[in-house]
Amino acid sequence: MNIYHYNINALKSQFSAADRSGEMENQMKRKFVQIAALGLAATLLLASGGGKASAAPASTSDRIIRVGLHHDGAYGTGSVEGLNLLNEVGSGFRFGYYDGASRFVELGATGQTAISVVETVNACYGIYGGYSSYHTEITTNVAVGEFHLQLPGAYGTFMEAQAAASAYRGGFPAYIGGTFYARVGNYTTRDGAVAAQNDLAAQGVLTEIKGTSSYGVNAVATGTNNILFQYDDLGQGTGLGVEPVQTGAEKCTTWSKSKLYNGGFRFERIGGGKMTVVNIVSFEEYIEGVIATEMSNSWPVEALKAQAVAARSYAVTLGTSTHSSTHFDICNGPHCQAYDGQTNAGSNTRAAVEQTAGLGVFYNGKPAQSFYYSSNGGASESVSNVWGSNQSLYPYLAGKADPYEPTLNLNNTWERTFSSSELISRVLSGKNVSAPIVSAEITAYTDVGNPLLITFTDSAGKNFSVSGRSVYGNLGLPSFRFGFAGGGGTGQPAPSAPSGSVSVNGSTTVNGPAGLYAIDGNGTITALGSDVYVITDSGTSQLGQGQNPGQSGGQWSGSMTAVNGSLTFAGRGWGHNIGLSQFGAKAMAEQGYNYQQILQFYYTGITVGYV
């Protein structure tokens, strides 16, 4: 199945305010409970429900992960011809490669603190596509040419090759297919190389004109055509490894494209194409980069801790096969987990990672696929309803009304309009629709009030029913919590508007079962689900009995007649609604819940353990 979650920055850009009288008959099942306390019980244990996780810490501090930053493919942002690196803390960069265990093997180093890695083709330094680096599509006065002069013989080390090359202007060491050579100059044409070759020959120096294969890369001093090192693995798949040199106590980081990264980088021209750039970084530093990107350092630490734990188990369960063709483990976009390195990290994100080091989400003793998203609009959803997955395989990804996220009063409503022809081609393809669509209606809802089945009607009076997940996925709607424009309501939708509320200990009003626990005669604490009744002074009240968002009082309708040949879908939230709501986690943390309680609310029956 295609699995997506949405970068929280997309939501943050829209929502600045966010950081901103008697016994009933047996017509329905009742649960009469003794309310022990409001909120998640303080005695709640990590081991309650879902089986045991690993008992002892398993170190993730030494684990390395390969994060794709620039790459081709269905979910890539595109490979690059040139990329700048800046080491402001240390004193230059080391050159080498990464072995099969992602260990760095050093070949040589430079004291230059600003370098660029460029394909071994004719490339000029300048602005292209809004980025200043080396590009083949532009012509400027700073050009790195693809022809070079190679001095006789081979060398055993980087230093030896560098020493031989430094006797000539524009000389540099090269590592071609595992052997060091000394090369001189770079020329954009063979004629230019021939002229330079003749000049050296007149001085008694014999050279050979060389290029590189389509797998070669140059490390140059940024903004110049001064080659510092040339590397060509001749298609063996190692790529050039670059790591910053650390000279002081301060942790060394590298700037690239206005983003700050720990660890090192691998530049590989897979299949002889443009450069695929991978950040080779420790697992825990990666997790901090994820939570600093997916959330905000200004958010409560307990929310960040919940995100850190979810991000770890998600990365573990994702495995390494998704991006194996591009030679890394996980990408830096919403297809996997959003990751901008340490750019937005701070004291809170650091504390969240340190205080949950190595912890992930478990179900029945195995790491859980801990999906998350920005905002659910009032209810999470079961994975079977959104992606058609077998719910029995993911019991912890079950939908439930969310009383926490709505307390933030996020301005996260949205509308999307589609013409009849778009609906027919994208949603009703294969249904033999021969007339324009004139209306649509949600004809079945999920347990939490999201569209389970939608029926479209054409002008000939024929009906065509499709699943809500098909509409959501094929139209690319922002959230699974949606209906149609025209509900007429002024407040937020009421997915769990209570038909009754009760007072606990004479003071606190409880509107729904979320966060409540019952204690049985044996002292066992059990989380309350839906369909909960309590006995009050005035009789019996049901907690959390609500209505579908399409019913009166919501911001959208359960049906719509086409306007000017189009239907407008309206909804609330941002993301697929499966698992953890990031804004919901923020709301819970602001209300005093800890990260375990947050995770156990959004992932049913899970434990927290060492991955």
pLDDT single digits (tens) 219-236: 999 999 999 999 999 999
Q: How far is Cα 138 from Cα 560, in angstroms, rounded to an integer?
A: 52
Is the CB of residue 253 less than 8 Å from the CB of residue 342? yes
* HEC profile of 276-310: EEEEEEEHHHHHHHHHHHHCCCCCCHHHHHHHHHH
Q: How far is CA 448 from the centre of its chain?
A: 26
pLDDT single digits (tens) 315-364: 999 865 567 777 889 998 888 999 999 999 999 999 999 999 999 999 99
Q: Which pLDDT does position 74 carry in this prediction?
A: 63
Which amino acid does the sequence have at 398? A
Q: How far is Cα 352 from Cα 354, in angstroms, rounded to an integer?
A: 6
Is the CB of residue 85 less than 8 Å from the CB of residue 256? yes
Q: How far is CA 275 from the centre of its chain?
A: 22
Position 236 in a domain = yes
Position 432 in a domain = yes
Is the CB of residue 249 less than 8 Å from the CB of residue 219? no
- Domain-ending residue, one of 220, 253, 274: 274
CB proximity list for 181: less than 8 A, separation 6 or greater:
150, 151, 154, 155, 161, 173, 174, 175
Is the CB of residue 334 less than 8 Å from the CB of residue 372? no
Is the CB of residue 210 less than 8 Å from the CB of residue 177? no
> Partners of 106 in the beta sheet?
96
Position 369 in a domain = no
Q: How far is Cα 168 from Cα 379, in angstroms, rounded to an integer?
A: 69
10 Å CB burial of residue 395 (0-12, 13-18, 19+) is: middle
- Domain-ending residue, one of 274, 294, 315: 274
Q: Which pLDDT does position 125 carry in this prediction?
A: 97
295-312 CB burial, b ≥16 within 10 A, e <16:
bbbebbbbbbbbbbbbbb
Q: Which pLDDT does position 273 carry in this prediction?
A: 92
pLDDT single digits (tens) 439-456: 999 999 999 999 999 999
Q: Which pLDDT does position 426 carry in this prediction?
A: 97
* Helix, strand or coil, per DSSP, at residue 475: helix
- Domain-ending residue, one of 255, 274, 293: 274
Position 482 in a domain = yes
* Helix, strand or coil, per DSSP, at residue 344: coil
* Helix, strand or coil, per DSSP, at residue 608: strand
* Helix, strand or coil, per DSSP, at residue 143: strand
Q: What is the mean pLDDT of the chain?
A: 83
Is the CB of residue 186 less than 8 Å from the CB of residue 225? yes
Q: Which pLDDT does position 600 carry in this prediction?
A: 97
* Helix, strand or coil, per DSSP, at residue 8: helix
Position 581 in a domain = no
pLDDT single digits (tens) 138-148: 999 999 999 99
Position 51 in a domain = no
Q: How far is Cα 47 from Cα 57, in angstroms, rounded to an integer?
A: 16
Number of domains in the chain: 2
Position 259 in a domain = yes
What would the two tokens of residue 31 be? Answer: 């649960």
Is the CB of residue 552 less than 8 Å from the CB of residue 543? no
Position 219 in a domain = yes
* Helix, strand or coil, per DSSP, at residue 202: helix
Is the CB of residue 551 less than 8 Å from the CB of residue 566? no
Q: Which pLDDT does position 458 carry in this prediction?
A: 95
86-114 CB burial, b ≥16 within 10 A, e <16:
bbebbbbbbbbbbeeebebeebbbbebbb
What parts of the chain have a pLDDT lower than 70?
Answer: 1-61, 74-75, 319-322, 487-555
Q: Which pLDDT does position 465 carry in this prediction?
A: 97
Residue 426's domain comprises: 413-493+549-572
Predicted model pTM: 0.81
